[in-house]
Structure 1
Amino acid sequence: MKKVVLAYSGGLDTSAIVPWLKENYDCEVVAFVADVGQGADELAGVEAKAKASGASECHVVDLKDVFVKDYIYPTLKTGAIYEGTYLLGTAMARPIIAKAQVEVARKVGADALAHGCTGKGNDQVRFESCYAALAPDLQVIAPWREWSLDSRESLLNYLAERHIPCSASATKIYSRDANAWHISHEGGELEDLWCEPSEQVWTLTQSPEQAPDQPEYVTVAIAAGEIKSINGDALSPYDCLETLNQLAAKHGVGRVDIVENRLVGMKSRGCYETPGGTVMMTALQAIDELVLDKASRSWKASLSEQFAQLLYDGRWFTPLKQSVLAGAEALTMRASGDVVLKLYKGQVTAVKKRSPYSLYSEDFATFGADEVYNQQHAEGFIRLFSLPSRIAALQQQGGVDG
């Protein structure tokens, strides 16, 4: 291998991987950085840092708008939530990062790809499954599965021996991953399941206890399953998410603390902050309540679970993903309307909802007098609905022919 494109973040792991690749593979290393909305602080000086580590080039690619429009919004249409709680922030970002990395590799004429995922996590599977679908001809290098470095201290020593600057320290507690959709936290006290997360874990949202004492209301307009405007302002998908992130974060919305089943077999604990995404999901669920009949809602729940699993497992570039997404698209064709959401002390509640395609009719549902529903008709329906139970009971009572 002569040239390797490394998915580079500027953190400790990838800073060490650059010189390690050069030493062990005698190759040129090109750093690739994906801007998926992780914030200016994480991207500050990343090009200089990559070159100081030994990279010949550093390509920073702005993926924020495409990430929200072509990955987050389609996922929202499916209603996917992994194991009932996780809104899939890290999993959604991996396919767009892998795709852009492959594109950079083609552009610079590389013959290999590399990543900094550990051998314990889900991301190694996600990245390499995407590589397999998009660039099966390129070799893949996963240093964490090859090198002898096995701790944060050993990585710091490795860099110090080579006089490579690094802002990381041995006292870092948590492992974090951030993008426009969320931020995740692992490690530290979170590895003890009998330990409540301290406030230093959370970095994006206000503590619900310290959040404003007055609720805030936000109006979301939806068209065909996509958020189009916030409080009457038409915005791009990315700007819709950013606006809701700011509104919801100050009210402590979007915090979850879960133990999930990793793809590689072990359970792990993660704390996730997804303020704007939690509001978006709640708004879309509110519209689904209005426009989907019972059978359609049940079918969508099945699609949601299927999509959550395939996304978590890194199967974005597959016919299965295309098939499930097509089904979700059909179910969201009439998912349009307006939702008013109440943000208060860590909770988001849809308090008002309307849709031109709503199947709710006050005329039919009212407890007051109405002229559209004959309650006597229910008797025949109930008799037919319960007929199997009636026949079984009659047979048990003596074989009486029902």
Structure 2
Amino acid sequence: MTQPRVVLAHAGDAGTLYAIPWLAREAEVVTVTVDVGQGDSLLAVRERALEAGAVRAHVLDAREAFAHEMVLPALRAGAIGFDGDPHAAVLALPCVAAQVAAVAAMEQADALAHGGHGQAAARMARLLAATSRLPVRTSVETMPTEVRAEALARLQVETETPVARASLWGRSLSAPADLNAPVDGSLFSQTRPATRGPDAPATLDIHFEGGSPRRVNGVAMPLVELLSSLDTIAAAHGVGRVDVLVPEGSGVRREVAEAPAATILQIAFRELEALTLPWSLRTLRRRLAESYVDLLRTGDWHGLTRASIDALADRALKDATATILLRLYKGGVQVVGRAAH
């Protein structure tokens, strides 16, 4: 009898890696690792997955899809930085789920699986269910403790400490459990401390056409390249470190991230809205931005509500064309000029 086949969304973390032999007891395991701009080679992730027992390990480059289908709509909806959170941890997940579903169809899989824990598990399960008709296996967080320990030892995984979740849009870092504890500065590998930024400020102009960023300092760039350039410039000036409280179930959790491009773009975009949209429309969009953020956090990205907010953004921003001039200095960002076109 042919074994069933499970396609596993695998980010390269230990928690998903040790699930491979667990799932392989009853099914062929095919892993999917999606490149959304993590910045590291994912070939090692592929090799580890095969060593752990996967029959095949796919690594897919989805940076363009992520930038255009998730990052840009969220920015245009006004959801980025709405509550201080760049959403670096959740914005890539709809893209990952879509890629996993596509591979599952190609592989003629019988089920899907993922390595999410807690609220993230429910979020990922909803996204997978929305992109595929295949059943979604119970999260690997349900693995028995002894099975997990055995897999960790066999695979020589020394720790289950969460790794930074990175993408083109930023890096979500491991926050201290204590809401008042200082963040370990060594976690920030992309951005300089504000005190070590250049002594001379930098000016940066971002040109928007129809509500979308097109040029930086007069140079037209594809979106992926534009995000990378803004990351480099802003990070050098200590811009982009985030430490906020966000809703989690009935309580809150601490979100620590570094997202230089997201920080720059959300400030410039708000100025673009102020310059080009009437107050009544801006007020409505603020309410909808809150709903958009809720959709991101719950994993309901693929529903009619999100598509409808995107449609309104397309109409509202049709003529939102302007250049926003920013000043970057020692971790701060200030709007110093604007010109509608």
**TM tier relative to shorter chain:** over 0.9
Distance between the aligned counterparts of 2:136 and 2:180, measured in 1? 43
Give 1:316 shift: 0.9
**Does 2:245 correspond to 1:259?**
yes
| Mapped pair 1:124 → 2:121 | yes
Q: Which residue matches 2:299?
A: 314
What residue is the counterpart of 1:2 in the other structure? Answer: 4
Contact 1:83 1:260 in 2 (8 A): no
Q: Is contact 2:13-2:162 (8 Å) kept?
A: no
1:345 match: 330
Aligned to 1:324: 309
Matches within 5 A, 1:377-392: none
Residue pair 2:13, 2:163 contacting (<8 A) in 1 also:
no
AA of the residue aligned to 2:28: E
| Superposed displacement of residue 299, structure 1 | 1.1
CA contact (8 A) 1:339 1:354 kept: yes
Deviation at 1:291, TM superposition (A): 0.9
The residue aligned with 1:35 is 35
Q: Which runs of 5+ in 2 are unaligned?
A: none
TM-score, length of structure 2 as denominator length:
0.94
The match for 1:49 is 48
Paired residue secondary structure (1:138):
coil
Task: Tell me by how many angstroms 1:221 deviates.
Answer: 1.0
Give 2:216's match in structure 1, choosing from 215, 221, 230. Answer: 230
Structure 2 residue aligned with 1:180, among 157, 164, 168? 168
Secondary structure class of the residue paired with 1:184: strand
- Identity rate of aligned residues, in percent? 29
| Structure 1 residue 148 corresponds to structure 2 residue 144 | yes
Deviation at 1:226, TM superposition (A): 0.6
Cα distance in 1 for partners of 2:227, 2:302 equals 24
- Aligned residues of 1:112 and 1:141 also touching (Cα < 8 A): no
Query: Does structure 2 conserve the Cα–Cα contact (< 8 Å) formed by 1:12 and 1:156?
Result: no
Structure 2 match to 1:195 = 181
> Residues 26-59 of structure 1: CA distance to partner in whole angstroms, max 9, x if unpaired?
1100010000001124x24122111001100011
Residue of structure 2 in register with 1:97 after alignment:
96
Q: Is the 8 A contact 1:53 1:165 kept in 2?
A: no
| Conservation of the 8 A alpha-carbon contact between 1:283 and 1:339 | yes
Contact 2:112–2:134, Cα closer than 8 Å, also in 1: no
Counterpart code for 2:126: S
CA deviation after TM superposition for structure 1 residue 284, in Å: 1.2
Pairwise CA distance, 1:156: 5.6
Secondary structure in 2 aligned to 1:76?
helix
Q: 1:155 Cα shift?
A: 4.2
SS in 2 for 1:80: coil
Q: Runs of 5+ in structure 1 lacking a partner? A: 357-402
User: What is the number of residues matched between the two proteins?
Assistant: 339
1:74 counterpart SS class: helix
For normalisation by structure 1, the TM-score amounts to 0.80
1:16 aligns with 2:18: yes
**CA distance in 2 between partners of 1:298 and 1:8 (Å):** 40
- Rate the CA distance shift 1:173–1:101 in 2: closer, same or farther, 3 A: closer
The CA RMSD over aligned residues, in Å, is 1.8
- What SS does the corresponding residue of 1:140 show, helix, strand or coil? coil
Give SS of 1:227's match: strand
